[in-house]
């Protein structure tokens, strides 16, 4: 039996802001075809880790390799060109633009025609290229069941629908690895179930490897292949969902947070 293909490798990554350490010597890898979840209490460094992978932050030390290529020093758009896409914890849509146009923005880096060939629209292949991109966007719209809002301004939509549009834009990049930062935050139970189904289908039918940050443990344990736990910027556990659920260090990390929340509620 052949060993899984490593798509992403993180080695000894540390990140600090002034004297505050956000990440300390974090090591893990993600195999091609996995759904890999990162969990941990608030402030554990989960989003900082995604920001290091996507290029928003540059670690102080360590190595991040994707498809065997070192990504430290690469700009975010260069990482997108390699096949990396992401959504954000705080929505980053263009509120004044339609859903369709927001998703088309996600195809921008795939365009081959530029400002020089654009004026030769009918002769340079730009027309054919645009039609191909629009067909790809329509496939994504159908897949995420948002045809009824395709012409709506993104800023007028409900929070749950805007989260779905942001996922659509990330999918439009045609990523091999997609980073999802709390894709189900603020959703009701029905919306969460729909989003979990979309993520599973992206993984199984569209062939996308997924790294997900999510606080809903039912979802995480239900759809993840492996789970890593961060606490105060350090990795405290990694393994199969059942192993993580039984891990005493993980229980302690979450129990501490629950106790604090309980004290706040009863104060």
pLDDT tens across 201-210, in order? 999 999 999 9
Provide the whole-model pTM.
Answer: 0.86
Cβ atoms of residues 145 and 163 within 8 Å: no
| Best CA proximity match to 167, nearest among 82, 93, 75, 79 | 93
Angle between helix axes 189-204 and 159-172 (nearest 10 degrees) is 10
- Residue 23's alpha-carbon distances to 45, 59, 136, in angstroms, are 6, 9, 38
Average pLDDT over residues 228-235: 96
pLDDT at residue number 265: 38
Residue 71, C-beta contacts closer than 8 angstroms, at least 6 positions apart: 53, 55, 64, 65, 79, 82
The domains found in the chain, sorted by start residue, are: 1-83+175-267 (3.40.50.300), 93-172 (no CATH)
Q: Of 75-84, 118-127, 134-143, 184-193, where does mean pLDDT reach its minimum?
A: 118-127
Question: Would you place residue 3 in the very low, low, confident or very high pLDDT band (cuts 50, 70, 90)?
Answer: confident
**Rounded mean pLDDT of the chain?**
86
* Percent of residues, the chain, with pLDDT higher than 70: 84
| Best CA proximity match to 3, nearest among 31, 37, 27, 28 | 31
pLDDT at 129 over 80: no
Q: How many CB atoms lie within 10 A of CB 229?
A: 23
Q: What is the DSSP letter of 195?
A: H
């Amino acid at each position: 039996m052949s060993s899984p293909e490593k798509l992403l490798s993180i080695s000894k990554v540390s990140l600090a802001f002034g004297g505050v350490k956000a990440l300390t010597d974090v090591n893990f890898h993600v195999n091609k075809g996995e759904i890999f979840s990162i969990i941990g209490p608030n402030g554990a460094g989960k989003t900082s880790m995604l920001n290091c992978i996507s290029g928003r932050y540059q670690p102080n030390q360590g190595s991040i390799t994707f498809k065997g290529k070192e990504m430290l020093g690469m700009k975010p758009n260069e990482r997108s060109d390699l096949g990396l896409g992401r959504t954000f914890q705080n929505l980053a849509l263009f509120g004044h633009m339609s859903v369709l146009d927001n998703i088309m923005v996600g195809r921008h880096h795939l365009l081959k025609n530029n400002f020089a060939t654009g004026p030769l629209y009918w002769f340079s292949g730009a027309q054919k290229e645009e039609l191909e991109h629009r067909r790809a966007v329509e496939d994504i719209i159908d897949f995420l069941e948002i045809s009824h809002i395709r012409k709506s301004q993104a800023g007028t939509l409900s929070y749950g629908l805007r989260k779905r549009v942001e996922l659509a834009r990330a999918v439009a990049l045609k990523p091999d690895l997609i980073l999802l930062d709390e894709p189900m935050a603020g959703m009701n139970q029905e919306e969460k179930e729909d989003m979990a189904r979309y993520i599973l289908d992206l993984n199984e039918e569209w062939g996308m490897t997924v790294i997900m940050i999510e606080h809903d443990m039912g979802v995480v344990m239900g759809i993840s292949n492996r789970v890593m736990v961060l606490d105060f910027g350090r990795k405290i556990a990694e393994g199969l969902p059942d192993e993580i659920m039984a891990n005493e260090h993980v229980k302690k990390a979450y129990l501490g947070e629950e106790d604090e929340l309980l004290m706040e509620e009863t104060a």
